[in-house]
A and B are shown apart, each in its own frame.
Chain A
Amino acid sequence: MSQSLAEKFYFYMKLGRELEIRAKEEYTKGNIGGFLHLDIGQEAVSVGAVFGFGKGDLFCPYREHVLALARGMDPKLIMAELFGKITGVSKGKGGSMHLYEPKLDFYGGNAIVGAHLPHAVGAAYARKYMGEKAGVLAIFGDGATNGGSFFESINLAVVWEVPVLFLCENNFYAIGTRIDRVSAFRDIYLKAKDYMPALQVDGMDVFAVYEAVVNAKKYLEDYGKPYFIEAITYRYEGHSMADKGDYRSPREIETFRKKDPIENLKNKAMQMGWLTPEQIRMMDEKIAQIIEEAVEFALNSPEPDLEELYKDIYCGVCADVIP
């Protein structure tokens, strides 16, 4: 079990990291524009959470490349979206912060801090209403937990008794402001503890995140009620490409780099005999090839036609359900 998990975790965390390292490079070349928020350092949370959750709807913040990958979105479609091409998952109209694929139960990608939290609660309500019980995973940063949407959403999820897993990626910073300078609580899970089961996990350890989420998912399915997890993690890069991240000391960054989730997993997997160096080398090669193909696909894809400007604003059809 741990062996196949280790392989899957390594593959997707590494794929995520390599895709983002390449995206960073393409950004500096001018192939990618706008805001680009990288997950580098936080991959264990994204990958552990998506695989731990399994079936169910995902609502994510703007830092969502790795979440989309782990949910099965084609790296080509992601890269093409970053390049703003018509072949991108959102036809080049969304960009980095707006990846959506309802077929994968993947609902963004939202660039307004905390705005997707009520969406997740409404989605969980709808699914439950329709007799499904898989539940909804809502992922957000520490910065989102001081806003009204957050408190409104945890309140509603409890009142409506809907299965939402609130997963906070606490990387201590909201852009350049350290969370404890603007938040009355250091331990974010305490904000939810009086409402629902709430706990903290090591977000640099993919197995810890995975196990916590698996347990939470079981709770959602058994009780149909919400659950809260705070994952302690760290981003190595700045908030976005526009930010050097130099409000943090090199020592602080180094402390977390030593707990690098991918290196940790690799070492543990080799020690335990789950993965051989040869297997890892082969995965790395495959990943490099996938990234190469994704960039090639994005580069060679056409720009949207100018008529695209006017498309997808309205469906323009009337449902024929109500006479």
Chain B
Amino acid sequence: MLYRDAINLALDHAMQVDPRVIILGEDVGFYGGNYKVTDGLFAKYGEKRVIDTPIAENSIVGTAIGMAMMGLRPVAEIMTANFSMLAMDQIVNNMAKLRYMSGGKIALPMVVRMPQGVGRQLAAQHSQSLEHMFASIPGLYVFCSSDATGAYHTTLYAIRLDDPVILLEHVLLYPMDFEFYKVENFDPFKARILREGKDITVVSYLKMVHDVLRACENLEKDGISCEVIELISLRPIDFETIYSSVKKTKRLVVVYEAPKSFGLGAEISARVCEEMFYFLDAPPLRIAGEEVPIPYNRKLELSAIPTQESIYRQMLSWGKGHGL
């Protein structure tokens, strides 16, 4: 099943069983969504439940907050994370804080979905990974997943939660085809171990997971065995799973598409150093984007972010340099 279809299925299911679930965003209705994630829902549920909004990101999130306060369960789509900057006031100052500021009197059962990441030659204003911004805000949950099964369950789980959730998707994942299956008692707060290994713990999320998995297959041929952990929740992070893996492998690599500085890699490797310093056989490695806006030119674009090839090369030489 396509990644986008899995999210569509989750939305459809949620809307079918609960009339309080409504969708809003730019082009989500009549047009079917820019990435076709909401395709067909407008025809099925009508314009009162699948609402086309004007290009006003601040108010897409702001009105969803008002709806959630009154007990609806809105799922707002921001066309891409790049435009979520215009909604940052509502996301950071309101969505994340109203519960706390009201001493627990206000609940916001709402979801804000958005794709992010580097697509194909979309240039700087349409190619960003901003998960660290959302993940740094107490009061939000931030979820994402790398395949159709994960996307389906995470989306449903997010809608069911009585707390505000940011759901991050990746533009390049939408058209990818996956084997799809349903999971009993899916728990987004638990990281997924996608591959077991004994030499290096590799932590990644979203689209990079696939590049990591392929790089690790190649490393296997070089005699390096990697344990690959996929984070579904970026706030909170399932450190327990990371720690117990690092206890076993004694080495940590974090792979992500955003610029290296201030990203999830900084957070995860700092925590591992704080908690597991004496277990480590090597300083943690971050494989991440360059400190540049993403350029238009395809060659430059690809060299600005990790690829299967660059992940493999960096891990191999780092591994060699650290006793493997």
For B289-313 the 0/1 string (1 means CB < 8 A from A) is 0000000000000000000000000
Chain A to chain B: the 6 pairs with minimum beta-carbon distance, closest first:
A122-B66, A118-B62, A91-B103, A122-B63, A126-B70, A312-B104
Question: Is B59 a contact of A101 with CB atoms below 8 Å?
Answer: no
Contact indicator A115/B107 (Cβ below 8 Å):
no
In the complex the two chains form, is B63's CB within 8 Å of A92's CB? no
Inter-chain contacts of A30 with B (CB < 8 A): none
CB distance from B311 to the nearest CB of A (A): 34
**Stretch in B31-39, B50-58, B171-179, B213-221 touching the partner:** B50-58
Query: B56–A156 contact, CB under 8 A?
Result: yes
Per DSSP, chain A at the interface is loop
A88, A98, A156: the one contacting B53 at CB < 8 Å is A156
CA distance A155 to B59 in the complex (A): 10
| B160 lies within 8 A of chain A by Cβ | yes
| Contact among A89, A121, A152, A311 with B66 in the assembled complex (CB-CB below 8 Å) | A121
Residue A262 lies at the interface, judged by CB distance under 8 Å to chain B: no
Minimum distance in angstroms from A179 CB to a CB of chain B: 22
In the complex, chain A residues whose CB is within 8 Å of the CB of B106: 100, 102, 107
Which single member of A101, A119, A156, A320 contacts B69 (CB below 8 Å)?
A119
Is A323 an interface residue when CB atoms closer than 8 A count as contact?
yes
Q: In the assembly, what is the distance between CA of A317 and CA of B160, in Å?
A: 9
- Residue positions of A touching B, CB distance < 8 A: 57, 59, 88-94, 98, 100-102, 107-110, 112, 115, 117-127, 129-130, 148-149, 152-153, 155-156, 159-160, 311-323
Give chain A nearest CB distance to B236 CB in angstroms: 10
- A307 to chain B minimum Cβ distance, whole angstroms, is 13
User: Which of B54, B73, B105, B157 interacts with A102 by CB under 8 Å?
Assistant: B105
User: Do residues A94 and B66 form an inter-chain contact, with CB atoms below 8 A?
Assistant: no
A94 B103 Cβ-Cβ under 8 A = yes
Contact B66–A126 (Cβ < 8 Å): yes
Residue-wise interface mask of B (13-42) relative to A, using a CB-CB cutoff of 8 A (1 in contact, 0 not): 110011011100000000000000000000
With A313-B100, A318-B160, A322-B17 known as contacts, the answer to whether A122 contacts B89 (CB < 8 A) is no
Q: Pick from B17, B98, B139, B141 the residue with the most CB of A within 10 Å.
A: B98
Interface band, chain B? 35 or more
Chain B residue with minimal CB distance to A110?
A: B94
Q: Compute the total of residue contacts between A and B using a CB distance below 8 Å.
A: 163
A158 to chain B minimum Cβ distance, whole angstroms, is 11
Closest B residue to A153 by beta carbon equals B59
Give the chain B neighbours of A319 by CB distance below 8 A. Answer: 73, 109, 160-162
Contact of A123 among B67, B161, B162 (CB under 8 A): B67
For B99, what are the chain A residues with a Cβ–Cβ distance below 8 Å?
Answer: 312-315
Distance between Cα atoms of A207 and B61 in the complex (Å): 37
Q: How far is the CB of B136 from chain A (nearest CB, A)?
A: 14
Tell which of B22, B62, B156, B163 touches A322, judged by Cβ atoms closer than 8 Å.
Answer: B156
Contact (A118, B58) CB under 8 Å given A156-B53, A322-B13: yes
Q: B160 contacts A322, CB within 8 Å?
A: yes
A sample of 18 more A-B contacts (CB under 8 A), given A118-B66, A323-B17, is A88-B103, A100-B106, A108-B102, A115-B93, A118-B58, A122-B63, A127-B70, A130-B72, A149-B58, A152-B59, A153-B59, A160-B51, A314-B141, A315-B163, A317-B161, A319-B162, A322-B17, A322-B21
Q: A112-B89, A153-B59, A313-B99 are in contact. Are A318 and B53 (CB under 8 A)?
A: no
Chain A residues with Cβ below 8 Å from B101 are 90, 93-94, 98, 100, 108-109
Task: Flag whether B269 is at the interface (Cβ < 8 A).
Answer: no
- Against A, the Cβ 8 Å flags (1 = close, 0 = not) of B124-148 are 0000000000000011010000000
A314 touches B59 (CB 8 A): no
Given contacts A156-B63, A314-B163, contact A89 B103 (CB under 8 A): yes
At the interface, yes or no: B253 with Cβ under 8 Å from chain A? no
Q: Is the CB of A149 within 8 A of B17?
A: no
Select one of B74, B102, B157 contacting A98, CB under 8 A.
Answer: B102
Contact B139 A314 (CB under 8 A): yes
The listed residue with most A CB atoms (<10 A of its CB), out of B21, B56, B103, is B103
CB of B209 within 8 Å of the partner chain = no
In the complex, which of the residues B59, B71, B106, B160 has the most CB atoms of chain A within 10 Å of its own CB atom? B59
Q: With the chains together, A91 CA to B100 CA distance in Å? A: 9
Q: Is the CB of B163 within 8 A of A112?
A: no
> Are B162 and A315 interface neighbours, CB within 8 A?
yes
A120 near B159 (CB under 8 angstroms)?
no
Q: Using an 8 Å CB-CB cutoff, how does the interface string of B80-124 with A read, 1 for contact, 0 for none? A: 000000000110011000111111111101000000000000000
Q: Which of A109, A110, A125, A318 has the most B CB atoms < 10 Å from its CB?
A: A125
Contact of B59 among A118, A316, A318 (CB under 8 A): A118
- Whether B322 is near chain A, meaning CB under 8 Å from some CB there, is no
Given the known inter-chain contacts A115-B89, A115-B90, A129-B48, please indicate yes or no for A322 contacting B69, CB distance below 8 A: no
Q: Does B64 contact A (CB under 8 A)?
A: yes
The smallest beta-carbon distance between A111 and chain B, in angstroms, is: 8
| Cα distance A8–B107 in the bound complex, in angstroms | 33
